[in-house]
Chain A
Amino acid sequence: MSKKPVIEANALDLTFETNDGPVQALKGVDLAIEKGEFVSFIGPSGCGKTTFLRCIAGLEKPTGGSLTVNGMTPDEARKERAYGYVFQAAGLYPWRTIAGNVRLPLEIMGYPKSEHAERVEKVLSLVDLEGFGKKFPWQLSGGMQQRASIARALAFDADILLMDEPFGALDEIVRDHLNEQLLELWARTEKTIAFVTHSIPEAVYLSTKIVVMSPRPGRITDIIDSPLPKERPLDIRDTKEFLDVAHRVREGLREGHSYD
């Protein structure tokens, strides 16, 4: 396995110019994400975890340091369709059916029409939404809408999935279920996933690597390689290994807070 990281950040800085003066959103972020990893970013609001994800997607421009995605700049990587992005809200277009929403990136990226139906069907079954293609978004529950938005990010051949608190607005039961499904999907598709969350159990349950961040300025305080096995039933959350990792994450978060 060649060990060229999929995503690599070196001394990454990002400063926003606001009316109240500059705000340092990211400071000296060093991180390497290998192919096939599931990396969670956790930290209190304002720690820059979403900003970092947006930098990877080329939605924000870093003001210092370097950031490469598949060895390219984020903008180049975006044009190469390197990643799919899942937002906090499902953000489905209400005038398109579920299938129409999943088809949207295919239309924009110019995939041949003959492939559309097949791809849509394939990713809808990946997220357990077979048969819902003809429904409109408002006819689906919040969890199903979020699954449809994941399908939309999977419809084209991106190796990287960037997820910004995708389950943050859902209740815990739905969330558990989607977490389980996400792990399954990750195992089946072998994508590299960068996942922003503010839930410790979610981060520990999902990730092979947990990045703990703290605010003012946004920076990484701890990077934990998870000792948990790849195969993870929900009740793994009661094991000692799981609780140990969760404890370390919590310690890391507390350390960040004592800063101010």
Chain B
Amino acid sequence: MKSIVPILTVVAAIVVIWYGAAVWMNSQWALDQAGRAEVELSFGELVTDTLSQERPRLPAPHQVVAELWDSTVGKSITSKRSLVFHGWITLSATLLGFAFGTGMGILLAVGIVHSRAMDMGVMPWAIASQTIPILAIAPMIIVVLSSLGVTGIIPKAIISAYLSFFPVVVGMVKGLRSPAHMDLDLMHTYSASRNQTFWKLRMPASMPYLFASLKVGIAAALVGTIVGELPTGAIRGLGARMLSGSYYGQTVQIWSALIAAAILAALLVGIIGIIQRNTLKRMGMAQ
């Protein structure tokens, strides 16, 4: 556990900076209020006030933590005020989109590696697709799909897949092409079919690349889902929590949804890391 010291050091630094910023950013409002009430604030009173406002510009860490605690442990998970409830809405769309994006990414990569036409034809479009701002395209996807009668989890999952397929394509193309000439020649001397070469050589060789891509992909999938929830007036999901927070100036709510999303992303990436370690170990490829 040698890594715990540097991690805690960084966390402590962030918390200190955060508190400092909260005092600084919220002091104007506190001073205005005091001015209107014609009272003088001592420095201690000012700090206390800036860290306990109801709608601060920047909520203090302990306010966010309290809100997180209250909206996860403190609420029934079926409640509309529960972050677990909203988190699950976002998570389910993320997982669906991630599965869809990963599947599509792998299929595209297989096509690109095996067909020169696809290599020339698909890759530029895959790259171009990622240069379009997702914020611009997300509402269109949702509007188009809902006019086709597709609503609910599917449109969000598609946006999430749109972001997550790309790292998988790039990683898998590289991974499927990673076998050395000699490895391929060996297959050739056995008169192996393309199918056999794929399943016995290219696919296993690409595993380390796949997992690296999946880690990027699942984080992208989560971002995609949240973006899909933001501009569409969704009422459920972490994105909707952030949006409604911003409507009502509930900065504490925005920040707690933000932190919840970050924790969720860390958990997802962590889970993939564990699967990666176990799989590669079982394959004999762990270092």
If the complex has contacts A78-B191, A108-B192, are A95 and B207 also in contact, measured as CB distance less than 8 A? yes
CB closest residue in chain A, given B193: A108
CB distance from B208 to the nearest CB of A (A): 10
* Chain A residues, CB < 8 A from B196: 108
Q: Which of B112-120, B182-190, B226-234 contacts A (4 or more CB under 8 A)?
A: B182-190
If the complex has contacts A59-B185, A93-B183, A95-B204, are A108 and B190 also in contact, measured as CB distance less than 8 A? yes
Q: Is the interface of B mostly helix, strand, loop or mixed?
A: helix
CB closest residue in chain B, given A109: B190
If the complex has contacts A91-B180, A108-B196, A108-B200, are A97 and B284 also in contact, measured as CB distance less than 8 A? yes
If the complex has contacts A95-B204, A107-B200, are A89 and B285 also in contact, measured as CB distance less than 8 A? no
Is residue A183 contacting chain B, with contact meaning CB distance below 8 A? Answer: no
The answer to whether B284 touches A96 (Cβ under 8 A) is yes
CB closest residue in chain B, given A162: B189
Say which residue of B182, B190, B201, B207 sits within 8 Å of A87 (CB atoms).
B182
* Chain B residues, CB < 8 A from A83: 189
The answer to whether A59 touches B189 (Cβ under 8 A) is yes
* Chain A residues, CB < 8 A from B192: 108
Is residue A205 contacting chain B, with contact meaning CB distance below 8 A? Answer: no
User: How many B residues touch A, CB cutoff 8 Å?
Assistant: 20
The answer to whether B284 touches A95 (Cβ under 8 A) is yes
Is residue A85 contacting chain B, with contact meaning CB distance below 8 A? Answer: yes
Say which residue of B187, B190, B285 sits within 8 Å of A94 (CB atoms).
B285
Q: How far is the CA of A251 from the CA of B195 in the complex (A)?
A: 49
Is residue A132 contacting chain B, with contact meaning CB distance below 8 A? Answer: no
Is residue A104 contacting chain B, with contact meaning CB distance below 8 A? Answer: yes
Say which residue of A58, A91, A104, A137 sits within 8 Å of B200 (CB atoms).
A104
CB distance from A56 to the nearest CB of B (A): 10
* Chain B residues, CB < 8 A from A108: 187, 190-192, 196, 200
The answer to whether A105 touches B190 (Cβ under 8 A) is yes
User: How many A residues touch B, CB cutoff 8 Å?
Assistant: 26
* Chain B residues, CB < 8 A from A81: 191
CB closest residue in chain A, given B196: A108
Is residue B283 contacting chain A, with contact meaning CB distance below 8 A? Answer: yes
CB distance from B211 to the nearest CB of A (A): 13
* Chain B residues, CB < 8 A from A89: 182
Is residue A57 contacting chain B, with contact meaning CB distance below 8 A? Answer: yes
Q: How far is the CA of A104 from the CA of B126 in the complex (A)?
A: 35
* Chain A residues, CB < 8 A from B207: 95
* Chain B residues, CB < 8 A from A59: 185, 188-189
The answer to whether B182 touches A91 (Cβ under 8 A) is yes
CB distance from A162 to the nearest CB of B (A): 8
Q: How far is the CA of A89 from the CA of B186 in the complex (A)?
A: 11
Interface string of A135-165 (1 = CB under 8 A from B): 0111000000000000000000000000000
CB closest residue in chain A, given B282: A95
Q: How far is the CA of A257 from the CA of B118 in the complex (A)?
A: 48
* Chain A residues, CB < 8 A from B204: 93, 95
* Chain B residues, CB < 8 A from A87: 182, 185-186
Of B185, B186, B191, B192, which is in contact with the most chain A CB atoms at under 10 Å from its CB?
B186
CB closest residue in chain A, given B187: A108
CB distance from B132 to the nearest CB of A (A): 38
Q: What residues of chain B have their CB less than 8 Å away from a CB belonging to chain A?
A: 180, 182-183, 185-192, 196, 200-201, 204-205, 207, 283-285
Closest 6 CB pairs of A and B: A136-B284, A95-B283, A85-B189, A95-B204, A108-B190, A108-B192
A/B interface sample: 22 pairs, CB < 8 A: A57-B189, A58-B188, A59-B185, A59-B189, A78-B189, A78-B191, A81-B191, A84-B189, A91-B180, A91-B183, A93-B201, A94-B284, A95-B204, A95-B205, A95-B207, A95-B283, A96-B284, A97-B284, A108-B187, A108-B196, A108-B200, A136-B284
- Other 15 A-B pairs with CB < 8 A, given A78-B189, A97-B284: A57-B189, A83-B189, A84-B189, A85-B189, A87-B186, A91-B182, A91-B183, A91-B186, A94-B285, A95-B285, A96-B284, A105-B190, A108-B187, A108-B200, A109-B190
